[in-house]
Amino acid sequence: MKALLILLIACLAILSPVVRAEDETVDDRYVAIYGLMLAGDAKAENGQAAAAKTNYTEAQSMLKKLREDYPSWSTRVVKFRMDYLAEKAAIPVTGSATGSGAAATPMTAPADAGQPVEMKIKWGIGKRYKQRVEMTQVMDMNMPGLSEPMKQEMKQSQDIGISALKERDGGGDELEMEFLSMAMDMKMGDTPLMSFDSKQGGQDNSANPAAAVLGKMVGSKIKFLTDPSGKIESVEGYQEFQDHVINGSPPEMQAMMKGFLSEDSLKQMSPTSMGLPGKPVKTGDTWPVKMEIGLGPMGKMVVNLNYTFTGWEQHDGHKCAVLEYVGDVSMKPSGDGGAAGMMSIDQGKASGKTWFDPAMGMIKETAGKQDLTMKINAQGQSISTQRQQNLDTKLVDVTDIAK
């Protein structure tokens, strides 16, 4: 829920979020390299060792060049693939060059591949899981009539409690999410725009719709009902939550906010098993994740990600499986003729890393980055914004639910 909530707040604060176009096509280059590697694996499995080695060697050369051109791009993924390709390319090929039928040397899996790992959320009934979300964002906005972009900086943090209330008949769980605290600081250049902290009382938020929304969210609760696989089946209390949050907002913003806070949007934003594979996986396995998030009359935000299980790390005292992802973000217009085309995203990019503890059955932390270029057409004006955003979600505490 966190990333979309932040997008909502940014829209409210200036009626204009985001995006910064990623230069070149590093993701496309990596996909081509990965395709060569998969082709090599397929040939190796069919006993075509020489042809497989040709694919591995070519992929290795291309990956080295990618690393030289983008030294900071997904360094752990690149290192893992470099090690894998180095091992494959080094295996000698036996048999005659004419292919007279001599057996090829079997291509073995990496030594650290291990056994398949199940990555499934395991809620402890009667427990409350406290998550902390921290975000930093920098936006360069090209405003009509100004020769230079305006720089806006924002920092936001929030604490969320997720209580596992009970198991459902037939499988699944009943969860309750509560917004425990919210804080946000925003400035335009050197000029402060907003400073809000729910832990400090006595703040007058009536003149700032973004701060007013944050204040109303604190203490609000939403209930999620999951199926046996952990997927959200329904949301209880969302209408009351939506009405409470948007009441008193400017009329022109309410339709947009209803889209952000609809039942379908809340289902996709819920803190459950986002990014997990849904089946046992081994080191090196990849899988796609796609989301379409409703944004009311503006349309839908479309997120396409590719996840890779890259290995293991000790993280906050836990042995965690490391999942890394890269992908793109775009907009799909609503097509209703109203606010369709109000917001568009050009070449949005996303990347990040998740630490999952299989023994605990929980995501310990996810750290992600988005680079976007967002264009908003409103009131006859067009605003183009380049945005860089870093978002970290961390499980900070697990306690018994208060009686």
Q: How many Cα atoms sit within 13 Å of 66 on the Cβ side?
A: 25
Sign of the Cα torsion 8, 388, 384, 30 reads negative
Other CB atoms within a 10 A radius of the CB of residue 403 amount to 4
Nearest Cα to 10, choosing from 390, 387, 266? 387
Range 160-199 burial, b when 16+ CB lie within 10 A, else e: bbbbbbeeeeeebbbbbbbbbbbbbebebeeeebbebebe
Is the distance from CB of 9 to CB of 156 less than 8 angstroms?
yes
DSSP code of 324?
E
How far from the centroid of its chain's Cα atoms is residue 24's Cα?
21
Handedness of CA 273, 354, 69, 18 (dihedral sign): positive
Distance between CA atoms of residues 360 and 396, nearest Å: 14
Give the model's pLDDT for residue 149: 82
Per-residue pLDDT of the chain (403 residues; tens, 9 = 90+): 444 455 555 554 444 333 223 334 676 677 678 767 777 776 776 677 888 888 888 888 888 988 888 888 777 778 888 888 888 887 775 543 333 333 333 333 333 446 899 998 889 999 999 999 999 999 888 776 677 888 889 898 999 999 999 999 988 899 999 989 989 888 888 888 788 888 887 666 565 666 777 788 889 999 999 888 788 888 898 888 888 888 877 666 666 677 667 777 677 655 566 789 988 999 999 999 988 876 666 777 888 999 999 999 999 889 999 999 999 998 887 665 444 446 788 878 999 999 999 999 999 999 999 998 888 776 566 778 888 899 999 999 999 998 7
> Tokens representing 371?
């680079």
The pair phi, psi for residue 30, each rounded to 5°, is -65, -40
3-state helix, strand, coil in the chain (%, to 5): 25, 40, 35
State the first-to-last Cα distance of the chain, in angstroms, to the nearest integer. Answer: 27
- Class for the domain spanning 2-22+122-400: mainly beta
Helices 26-45, 75-90: inter-axial angle, 10-degree rounding: 30
Query: CB-based burial of residue 72 (10 Å sphere; 0-12 exposed, 13-18 middle, 19+ buried)?
Result: exposed
Residue 87 structure tokens: 């091992």
Positions of E strands within 113-255: 127-142, 150-167, 173-188, 191-197, 221-226, 232-236
Q: What is the pTM of this model?
A: 0.69
SS3 83: helix
Residues 403, 401: Cα–Cα separation, whole Å: 6
Sign, CA dihedral 218-224-229-233, equals negative
Q: Where are the domains of the chain?
A: 2-22+122-400
Burial of residue 279 (number of CB atoms within 10 Å: 0-12, 13-18, 19+): exposed
